[in-house]
Chain A
Amino acid sequence: MNSLTEGKQSASGRAIERVRRGLGRRHAAERRFRLYGLAAVCLSLLFLSVLFVSIFRGGIGAFRQTFIRLEVFFDPDVIDAGDPGSGDYGALVKRSLRGMFPDVTGRGELRELYALASTGAAFQLRDMALASPDLIGRKEAVWVPADDDVDMLVKGVYDRRLPESGRRTSDRQLAWIDRLEAEGKIARRFNSLFFLNGDSREPELAGIRGAVMGSVYALGLTLLLSFPIGIAAAVYLEEFAPDNRWTRLIEVNINNLAAVPSIVFGLLGLAVFINFMGLPRSVPLVGGLVLALMTLPTIIIAGRASLKAVPPSIREAALGVGASRMQTVLHHVLPLAMPGMLTGAIIGMAQALGETAPLLMIGMVAFIVDVPGGWTDPSTVLPVQIFLWADSPERAFTERTSAAIMVLLAFLILMNAAAVLLRRRFERRY
């Protein structure tokens, strides 16, 4: 370090010495900077894993559901073979429950006993009888969904050591459940109801099919509208439009629109599509239109950026052999810009898939049990379904909320994978 003292004496020492003196500080700064970066990556990974772990732990339970095995006698006195749709199937469920516990008699006790099975059990029996009328008059073993309180208890969400007053299941019910478990008449099985049903007030019957189909319809329309319109706009603005005051004004406005809060698009949709054009409320048609408006700026901006990234030498090459401007764009510029455009579109679609606020404004927040079958059937979408379930008081909805988030994440991953695949395909063509 004697060079340091020398340096103080003659500030203008040899250049190489001054370089060497500064080296330590420079290396330290570099190390520090790398460390900051690494710390940032680690921190974000940590948060991400905490998020994933908590969602998975909360939601994985919803994919299995407690079922009760009932010996059901499809009594021809209760169910008319000529009209199996109108029988009292609830009575069948009650009768088979009573059959398992013949010693239960009191009104209150019976009500507690009947509460073990979900109200959906009657519908399940009805569907079975409708599907195969020859069941009537026969005895059949049927697995029906248990009530959500039973489900929560069997899954260990409810603490059975609490005093009876702190539990949602009575001591009697607890004893019945234990007996059924010992007899193998209660089991946890794959919860297909969660994927096949629409929404329901009963957590054990609530499914995401309605929300998924709503999202599929709405996003399908969004993609159909915003992708071609967005790309056409980007190509026109980037390749053909003259650079004047008007195009600059349009450009500024598109950039502003991308930053507009999404709920404003919901208000616009409410005012234009529902109030002015008279389209129905709560339907994927309006949802898709609103999301398309919201996604357009993203797609246009990404499209323009990827068009700008195409080297001008490619345009010159095409123009140089006599291609018209449209041929230059269609044959050379657009294929090269396509991967970037697809990325932008997927980002926009992912944003639209996760969007809740604008859909609240157009009534897609309604409680809808039926699975939509078209663009004009009332429905909700996945994120709104998550919002609705997160708002519900029943404990069983908590795990369904997490499970629905998992499904939403799965769709996002699927979309991103599709984007990567498409991008590969487009890049491989050359």
Chain B
Amino acid sequence: MLQNESGAVPVLAAGARRRDREDRRTVGSPLVADPRMTCRNVDVYYGEKHAVRGVSLDIAKNEVLALIGPSGCGKSTFIRCLNRMNDPIEGCRVTGDIRLDGADIYDSGVDVVPLRAQVGMVFQKPNPFPKSIWHNVAYGPKIHGLAADRYELDGIVENSLRRAGLWEEVKDRLDQPGTALSGGQQQRLCIARALAVEPEIILMDEPCSALDPIATAHIENLIDELRANYSIVIVTHSMQQASRVSQRTAYFHLGDLIEVGRTEIVFTNPLHPLTEDYITGRFG
């Protein structure tokens, strides 16, 4: 099922590339000075469907980058390219150039296991393993061999749960199934699970869409704290959430990256009319 084209398209092609719709050209500042990840001319196809069109975007260190846009605009598809989670999808093809610390992650020699250990992911629907809370968090470190013994593993589990703000609630019932927790707790458990493998970048695909406002606030605070050590890319449908947690915001529209900029500028003074329509509620 590994059918993606892993051949890299040269970065140089960015300037030479012709746009058939000039008004869909990305405006703002998609590129940053000292990026963790760089994406150039990323196209994603699902069979015949062209889901992401020529996106070029950088992810900076210690920033929260919010991806917003109407449903089906390709933001989830794009975020899943960043740790190659699209690989198992039948008929999905990714072209372009995505680099993590300068190394092409779609190169044929790249092993997705360390890539995904480096670029963690939290999904839209909380998806804890049907195992105990402890096993949920310990699973990643265990398969990567991050702990020498059970004692060290216990330490990683506690530390990850603490960072996810869940430790106090579950410390007495680590042996209970993770699926028995409430929705918000499950999502924080999934975040703890992602943190346990000590990733450098965390991708969050609408992490709060299934949660109530209190659980959402919890996770937003958490994202804010995590920013000190990680780069975070978050897909969200809530513009309030994007403005609360992110430093930069990218607006996607029907597969095109329309505008990227500092969050406060995108929301107060958008450069592109499509962005303005969306954030003022005239579209979407």
Interface residues of A (CB under 8 A from B): 240, 242-243, 311, 313-325, 327, 331-332, 336, 430
Q: Can you name the residue of chain B whose Cβ is closest to the Cβ of A430?
A: B130
Q: Is the CB of B3 within 8 A of A321?
A: no
| Chain A residues closer than 8 Å to B190, beta-carbon distance | 317
Q: List 15 A-B contacts (CB under 8 A).
A: A311-B127, A313-B125, A314-B129, A314-B130, A316-B123, A316-B127, A319-B88, A320-B122, A320-B123, A321-B139, A321-B143, A322-B113, A323-B113, A325-B88, A336-B130
| Chain B residues closer than 8 Å to A240, beta-carbon distance | 1
Q: Tell me the smallest distance from the CB of B111 to a CB of chain A, in Å.
A: 9
Q: Is the CB of A320 within 8 A of B83?
A: yes
Q: Is the CB of A321 within 8 A of B85?
A: no
Q: Tell me the smallest distance from the CB of A115 to a CB of chain B, in Å.
A: 69
Distance in angstroms between the alpha carbons of A316 and B120 in the assembled complex:
11
Q: Rank and list the top 4 A-B pairs by shortest CB-CB distance, nearest first.
A: A321-B140, A313-B127, A322-B117, A322-B116
Q: Which of A240, A243, A318, A319 has the most CB of B within 10 A?
A: A319
Interface size (B, Cβ < 8 Å)? 33
| Chain A interface, >50% SS class | helix
Inter-chain contact total with CB atoms closer than 8 Å: 72
Q: Is the CB of B129 within 8 A of A320?
A: no
B52-68 with Cβ < 8 A to chain A: none
B192-211 with Cβ < 8 A to chain A: 193-194, 196-197
Distance in angstroms between the alpha carbons of A327 and B193 in the assembled complex:
16
Q: Is the CB of B140 within 8 A of A322?
A: yes
Q: Tell me the smallest distance from the CB of B153 to a CB of chain A, in Å.
A: 14
Q: Is the CB of B114 within 8 A of A322?
A: yes
Distance in angstroms between the alpha carbons of A138 and B190 in the assembled complex:
83
Interface: B144 (CB within 8 A): yes
Interface: B177 (CB within 8 A): yes
| Chain B residues closer than 8 Å to A320, beta-carbon distance | 83, 85, 116, 120-123, 194
Distance in angstroms between the alpha carbons of A411 and B193 in the assembled complex:
46
Q: Can you name the residue of chain B whose Cβ is closest to the Cβ of A243?
A: B90
| Chain A residues closer than 8 Å to B127, beta-carbon distance | 311, 313-314, 316-317
Q: Tell me the smallest distance from the CB of A101 to a CB of chain B, in Å.
A: 76
Q: Can you name the residue of chain B whose Cβ is closest to the Cβ of A323?
A: B143
Distance in angstroms between the alpha carbons of A242 and B2 in the assembled complex:
8
Distance in angstroms between the alpha carbons of A322 and B85 in the assembled complex:
10
B117-166 with Cβ < 8 A to chain A: 117, 120-123, 125, 127-131, 139-140, 143-144
| Chain B residues closer than 8 Å to A314, beta-carbon distance | 127, 129-130
Q: Is the CB of B123 within 8 A of A321?
A: no
Q: Can you name the residue of chain A whose Cβ is closest to the Cβ of B179?
A: A430
Q: Is the CB of A313 within 8 A of B177?
A: no
Distance in angstroms between the alpha carbons of A327 and B143 in the assembled complex:
8
| Chain B residues closer than 8 Å to A327, beta-carbon distance | 143
Distance in angstroms between the alpha carbons of A202 and B121 in the assembled complex:
74
Query: Are A321 and B120 also in contact (CB < 8 A) when A313-B125, A316-B85, A336-B130 are?
Result: yes
| Chain B residues closer than 8 Å to A430, beta-carbon distance | 130-131, 177, 179
Taking A313-B125, A430-B131 as known contacts, 16 extra A-B pairs with beta carbons closer than 8 A to each other, sorted by chain A number, are A243-B1, A314-B129, A316-B85, A316-B121, A317-B127, A317-B129, A319-B85, A320-B120, A320-B123, A322-B114, A322-B117, A322-B140, A322-B144, A322-B197, A325-B88, A430-B130
